[in-house]
Amino acid sequence: MELEEKVAAYVQSLLEESFFLVDVQFHDKSGRARLVVSLDGDRGVSVDYCASISRQLSEWLEEQNLIQNAYVLEVSSPGVGQPLKMLRQYYANIGRTLRVDTTTGVTHKGKLVQVSPESILLEPLPVKKTKKAQQKISQQQAMLIPFAEIAKAVVEISFD
């Protein structure tokens, strides 16, 4: 079992039900080893929760002696602008604006209103009210996008 798989299994055992593991990556470039663990939650994840997992993981790594050289351990949420990787992340972001790049090269932007195991449903974003914009609104409709066609989906931050 690889280091990342062992770390993932251990972190999974630590997580409370409303939290989930997104990714584990180990990089060892030029003697600067770095273990990055990304967590998320159905309602987000706090810095305190990440710190708690980090402390427990650090102790376990030392006990297991899995990394021989000095390393940096980073436990955090995926962060703004990071692509959604798991179905559970889509559910956690219902109601937020997504930018979705498809495998066909088309980009869609809209409010995530529904998620199923096979697809997502984006609702068009409101356009500023002008006569020309109202015509565009009537032409816009909800977009059903199968996961098989999603190359990358990112939550957009709105300042409205």
Show the DSSP H helices in 15-148 as ranges: 47-64, 87-92, 131-139
Q: What are 65-97's pLDDT values in tens digits?
A: 988 888 999 999 887 778 999 999 999 999 999
pLDDT in tens, 10-60: 999 999 999 999 999 999 887 788 999 999 998 888 999 999 999 999 999
What number of helices (H) and strands (E) belong to the chain? 4, 8
Tell me the HSE value of 48 on the side-chain side, using a 13 A CA sphere: 0
| Beta strand ranges found along 61-160 (DSSP E) | 71-76, 97-102, 107-115, 119-123, 143-146, 150-156
pLDDT confidence of residue 157: 81
Higher-confidence position of 152 and 129: 152
Q: Which domains does the chain have, with CATH numbers?
A: 3-76 (3.30.300.70), 87-156 (2.30.30.100)
